[in-house]
Amino acid sequence: EVQLVESGGGLVKPGGSLRLSCAASGFTFSSYSMNWVRQAPGKGLEWVSSISSSSSYIYYADSVKGRFTISRDNAKNSLYLQMNSLRAEDTAVYYCARAVDAICFDYWGQGTLVTVSS
């Protein structure tokens, strides 16, 4: 069974940093591109970042470019999101999602809440 479990969310002050993790199991993690997608409270879905299976290709939404860094450790079946210079508008539930053929997201984690507030 495919499982994606996020962790690392919490309350952080504006300008602060946070590192999210996603532990994957039930599939060959090293064969899939992985993504972070977020959802602000009561709002829609926003894609944040993508990383290819071997980390060769990395992409970011303009809203986080230069502040967030996506990475992965295939040996540990883990995906990460380093978030720096956090802003109030980064407050959201952050989902880890597996991409199928890099086109859409077939499995999602349960999400981890990040709250940026003073």
Partner 1 sequence: EIVLTQSPGTLSLSPGERATLSCRASQSVSSSYLAWYQQKPGQAPRLLIYGASSRATGIPDRFSGSGSGTDFTLTISRLEPEDFAVYYCQQYGSSAYTFGQGTKLEIK
Residues that bind partner 1 (CB under 8 A): 35, 37, 44-47, 50, 57, 59, 61, 95, 100, 102-106, 108-111
**Residue given tokens 């002050």 in the structure block:** 13
For the record, the structure tokens of 19 come out as 């590192």
User: Is the Cβ of residue 17 or residue 54 nearer to partner 1 in the bound state?
Assistant: 54
User: Is the Cβ of residue 68 or residue 95 nearer to partner 1 in the bound state?
Assistant: 95
Minimum separation from the CB atom of position 46 to partner 1 (A): 7
In angstroms, rounded to a whole number, what is the distance separating the alpha carbons of residues 80 and 36? Answer: 9
Minimum separation from the CB atom of position 14 to partner 1 (A): 26
User: Is the Cβ of residue 37 or residue 116 nearer to partner 1 in the bound state?
Assistant: 37
| DSSP β-ladder status, 34-39 and 92-100 | antiparallel
Minimum separation from the CB atom of position 113 to partner 1 (A): 12
User: Is the Cβ of residue 2 or residue 88 nearer to partner 1 in the bound state?
Assistant: 2
Minimum separation from the CB atom of position 95 to partner 1 (A): 6
